[in-house]
Structure 1
Amino acid sequence: MNTYSRPALIALLGASSVASAYGQPSMQSYDPSAPKARAQVIAELNEWFAAGFNPQEWYYYPENALSAGRLVAQRRAETAPIQQ
């Protein structure tokens, strides 16, 4: 009896540890401080440019960046799925 229970226990522990490792969600998608991929940074920069941000207009810098940031946030809020 002991010879069958020990391998069964080892197999059960191995299977449960593998299942728990695959069952955990990826934390990178939920962590806003996680490093971003180059494609994500370029996409966000293009969103800012589409909202009217122009880094070469340095004399309008604070107002230009703040208004573009508001537009980007508003557009993201409009396209975000509604959660209930």
Structure 2
Amino acid sequence: MKALVSTLLVACALAAPAAAFAQTVNSANAPVTRAQVIGDLERLEQAGYRPIANDQNYPDDIQHAEAIVAQEQAQTAQHAAAVSSAVGGVAMTGSSDAGAPVVASVGGRSIYAGH
């Protein structure tokens, strides 16, 4: 019985560190770093937001600046997607649809008519 209990305790002790690494970090739930907060504030200030103590239009001002930043980020993401799908530095905007086959004709008749 002692051997079973001691074996069970050793197994639990060895399994505990493995359970600590089982957590995954979701970027949406990850804690925000100080550098990320400062970067966000700088982007908002570049978009026209001025943080002052007694701002009468506080919610409207920051929401407007956030909308501008979100629009810029969407444009940047769209541009990055276009560049990543480019070949040789040229965006692929065409299609690969084939048309009807070209038939060689002389005088409105196929050159293979009658053969």
Question: Is 1:53 paired with 2:47?
Answer: yes
Report percent identity of matched pairs: 23
Give the residue type in structure 2 aligned to 1:39: A
CA distance in 1, matches of 2:74, 2:37: 15
Question: Is 1:22 paired with 2:56?
Answer: no
Give the alignment's Cα RMSD to 1 decimal.
Answer: 3.4
Which structure has greater helix proportion?
1
Task: Describe the shift of the 1:15–1:30 C-alpha distance in structure 2 as closer, same or farther (beyond 3 A).
Answer: farther
Q: 38, 49, 55: which is aligned to 1:42?
A: 38
Count of matched residue pairs:
70
Deviation at 1:30, TM superposition (A): 3.7
Q: Name the residue aligned to 1:69.
A: 70
TM-score of the two chains, using structure 2 as the length reference: 0.43
Q: What stretches of structure 1 of length at least 5 have no aligned partner?
A: 80-84
Moved over 6 A (4+): none
Bigger radius of gyration: 2
Q: What stretches of structure 2 of length at least 5 have no aligned partner?
A: 51-56, 82-115
Task: Describe the shift of the 1:19–1:46 C-alpha distance in structure 2 as closer, same or farther (beyond 3 A).
Answer: same
CA distance in 1, matches of 2:31, 2:19: 25
Q: Answer 1 or 2: higher relative contact order, Cα 8 Å, separation at least 6.
A: 1
Deviation at 1:4, TM superposition (A): 1.8
CA distance in 1, matches of 2:32, 2:13: 33
